[in-house]
Structure 1
Amino acid sequence: MRTAVVCALLCAATLLGPSAAASAPQAPPPAVSVSVAVTDGVNDTEAGKRLDYRITVHNLGPTDVHRARIEQEMPATTTSATAPGGTVEGRGTGEQKVIWRSDLPAHDIQVFTATAVLGDRTDLTTTAAPGSMRAAATVCVYVGGSFAPTACSGDLDDLPETHPERGGGDGWVWWAVGAVAVALLGPGVVRAVRRRAAARH
């Protein structure tokens, strides 16, 4: 009889144990804290130049981050890009993007590098600032397969204005028109002046 009672108590404890454990409040996962910074070491550039980017990712939290995704959007005029350890996506101008995947140990700093070669601007009708445009690169860190970035940073470089000189072109046109007018009308004006002078005398 005692054996049956003991078995019954043990079976009940076994069945109730997991449900009791499951109902116990679970500690929330530690928050992920990551920072990122990007720089190419210059403030202005131009077509044909190569920009060397340095991306620094810092895991500020006490927990390891596995398979973080680091994405860099290259400037709009980028014609070619390289990234050691990363994958370059997009081939056309304005479509270059670099992706790295890396573990970020707790309190650790990871450094990534990339290069971009700039081409000529195709749109000369607008500017981001008087006399210049910007070569902008953006880096974001994504954690846990999320589509929302955990941290982002950017780098801006001035591009010189390359609008054609409109005034100079118009000036040449007016000079040409004036020369043609003088060539066509000049003899007639001279004859008219001579006739008037002869009539007076």
Structure 2
Amino acid sequence: MRTAVVCALLCAATLHAPSAAASAAKAPPAVSVTVSVTDGADAPESGKRLDYRITVHNLGASEVHDARIEQRMPATTTSATAPGGRVEGDGVGEQKVIWRSDLPAHDIRVFTATAVLGGHAEPAASAAPGTRRPAATVCVYVGESFAPTACSGDVDDLPESTPESEGDSWMGWAVGAGATALLGPGVVRAVRRRRVARAG
């Protein structure tokens, strides 16, 4: 009797094993997506429009359905547009663009957006003196996940036009005036001496 029970259990385990293996074989493949973003500029001027090109590449063998592509515009953005996308946020530093798209296997999708840059209240700590660094970031989300599958960014040097530059020019004039005041009397004396020497 015990032998019959043991055989029954072994047979049941053997019958269920293939179905478990089959279920494991049907597990969805891992998503492999890359993204890149560029505006084609290295040193844009404040007030100019930046044209962003976002490239999303699905490297996987399966289609990704309803992917969410989000671009956060630079903190100095005053206005933004995005064909096929939705612009969120109205204030400076709050603008974001969202696209929804299927990503076919081994395929590339390209999205475009524009941003108009304004001034910046304070220079970024990482920026060189006299520049601002407006940065745009793009991330791809699969499903309703809050964790991005892939992210990329673009950073530019934005020439700065502030009272500091005016102060530098004022300092230059002040130094020049000071030098003239110090050297002026000596020049006048030298000219007088030459005149006296010629008269004598």
Q: How many residues align?
A: 157
Mapping 1:9-158, distance limit 5 Å: 20=16, 24-25=20-21, 26-27=24-25, 28-124=27-123, 128-158=127-157
Moved more, 160-169 or 37-46: 160-169
For 1:45 and 1:125, locate their aligned partners in 2 and report how far apart those are by CA, in whole Å.
Answer: 16
Distance change in 2, residues 1:22/1:126 (3 Å): same
Amino acid in structure 1 at the alignment position of 2:82: A
CA RMSD of superposed structures (Å): 2.6
TM-aligned CA deviation for residue 144 of structure 1 = 1.8
CA distances 1:15-73 after superposition (whole Å, capped 9, x unpaired): x8xx9489613223211000111111110112110000010101000000000000000
Instruction: State the 1:132 CA deviation.
Output: 1.5
Q: Which letter does structure 1 place at the counterpart of 2:120?
A: R
Q: Normalization by structure 2: what TM-score?
A: 0.70
Counterpart in the other structure of 2:196 = none
Cα shift at 1:120: 1.5
Give yes or no for contact 2:124–2:132 (8 Å, CA) kept in 1: no
Identity within the alignment, %:
72
- What amino acid is aligned across from residue 64 of structure 2 in structure 1? V
The residue type equivalent to 2:161 in the other structure is T
C-alpha displacement of 1:170 = 7.6
Structure 2 residue identity aligned to 1:136: A
Aligned partners of 1:128, 1:65: CA distance in 2, in Å?
Answer: 38
Q: Deviations over 1:84-107 (max 9, x none)?
A: 000000000000100000000000
Consecutive unaligned residues of structure 2, counting only runs of 5 or more, are 1-11, 175-200
Bigger Rg, structure 1 or 2: 1
Distance in 1 separating the partners of 2:47 and 2:36: 25
State the TM-score, normalized to the length of structure 1: 0.70
- In the aligned structure 1, how far is the partner of 2:40 from the partner of 2:83? 19
Q: 1:22 to 1:68 in 2, by over 3 A?
A: farther
Contact (CA 8 Å) 1:124, 1:163: kept in 2 or not? no
